[in-house]
Amino acid sequence: MTHVLEVSGLKKHFGGVKAVDGVSFTVEEGEILGLIGPNGCGKSTLFNCILGQLTPTEGAVRLDGRVITGLYPAQLNRLGVSRTFQLLQVFPNLSVRENLILAGQEHKGTMLRRLFGARDAGLTPDADRMIAFFRLQHLADQKAGGLSYGQQKLLDAAMAFMAGPRLVLLDEPAGGVNLTMLENLKERLRTINRELGATFVVIEHNMDFVMSLCSRVVVMAEGKVLAEGSPAAIRNDPAVIEAYLGH
């Protein structure tokens, strides 16, 4: 049986520093996998290796059984791998709707058709559905740069879902989001996971968020996988507690 994502023996060394040192794990169809670990454990480097931002020193990444190591980010995206960023990465000079259309347009038709076809590449209905889903209706025509932090965070997430991705890698989706919104964000993510049939990998520091959202959790420490299992099992794993609390 093939996995949606399979990371096997991945290593990334910067000079003598082994940021990622032989990581292997799999992600199954439709699941929400949490990826946690203390600061500097190699989570972000791992993300960047999976997403083609960095070239791994060793090891392979497979998407539905196909090796995707070495592909460019744009190519990966068109294969259905989408992501959000830890820091805000919306386009401040485009409107909210334009941001969403941008996020979907490269998945529609050919280059030439995009040039001569409709201005919105036929994506306005999809974008408006996404806007409504994330409660941004009243801001649809505002420039994204004028939105509040929380609103931009939602837009950032919405952009990742525009193209109906197969796999979404979320980098700290809860960071900077206030408590009242957190529950709802979790709810939105669950709905998307269910309705789009998308598979998620979530990096997050907020333990409660991860534990309640994810079906399975991978813990990293010092570039290696430390533990893997259900949220309940991880919560009680002494090695994990040790790694987090340190000495």
The residues that touch other proteins, with contacts defined as CB under 8 A, are 14, 51, 53-55, 72-74, 77-78, 82-83, 85, 89-95, 98, 101-103, 105-107, 111, 114-117, 119-121, 125, 128-130, 132-139, 141-143, 146-148, 150-151, 154, 159, 161, 163, 180-181, 184-185, 187-188, 191-192, 195-196
Q: Which is nearer to other proteins, 25 or 47 (CB)?
A: 47
Report the residue number, 26 or 193, with the smaller CB distance to other proteins: 193
| Residue 62 Cα distances to 71, 89, 135, 161, 215, angstroms | 11, 26, 35, 21, 21
Q: Which residue has the tokens 């190519």?
A: 75
Nearer to other proteins, 209 or 216 (CB): 209
Which residue lies nearer to other proteins by CB, 187 or 208? Answer: 187
Report the C-alpha dihedral over residues 221, 227, 232, 237, rounded to 10 degrees: -80
Strands laid side by side in the 216-221 sheet: 81-83, 167-171, 199-203, 32-36, 216-221, 224-229
CA gap 156, 172 in Å, rounded: 12
Contact (Cβ atoms closer than 8 angstroms) between residue 124 and residue 136: no
Q: How far is the CB of 212 from other proteins (least distance, A)?
A: 16
Shortest Å distance, C-beta 28 to other proteins: 22
Closest CA to 199 of 44, 87, 50: 50
Q: How far is the CB of 222 from other proteins (least distance, A)?
A: 21
Length of the chain: 247
CB of 187 to other proteins, least distance (A): 8
User: What is the DSSP-derived secondary structure letter of residue 37?
Assistant: -
Name which of 19, 91, 97, 5 is nearest 51 in CA terms: 5
Q: Please state, in angstroms and rounded to a whole number, the distance separating the CA atoms of residues 242 and 99.
A: 43
For residues 1 and 179, which CB has a smaller minimum distance to other proteins in the complex? Answer: 179
Smallest distance, other proteins to C-beta of residue 91, A: 5
Nearer to other proteins among residue 32 and residue 147 (C-beta): 147
What angle, 0 to 180 degrees and rounded to 10, lies between the N-to-C axes of helices 149-161 and 179-195? 10
Compute the least distance from the CB of residue 143 to other proteins, in Å. 6
Q: Which is nearer to other proteins, 103 or 234 (CB)?
A: 103
CA 17 to chain centre: 25
CB of 70 to other proteins, least distance (A): 12
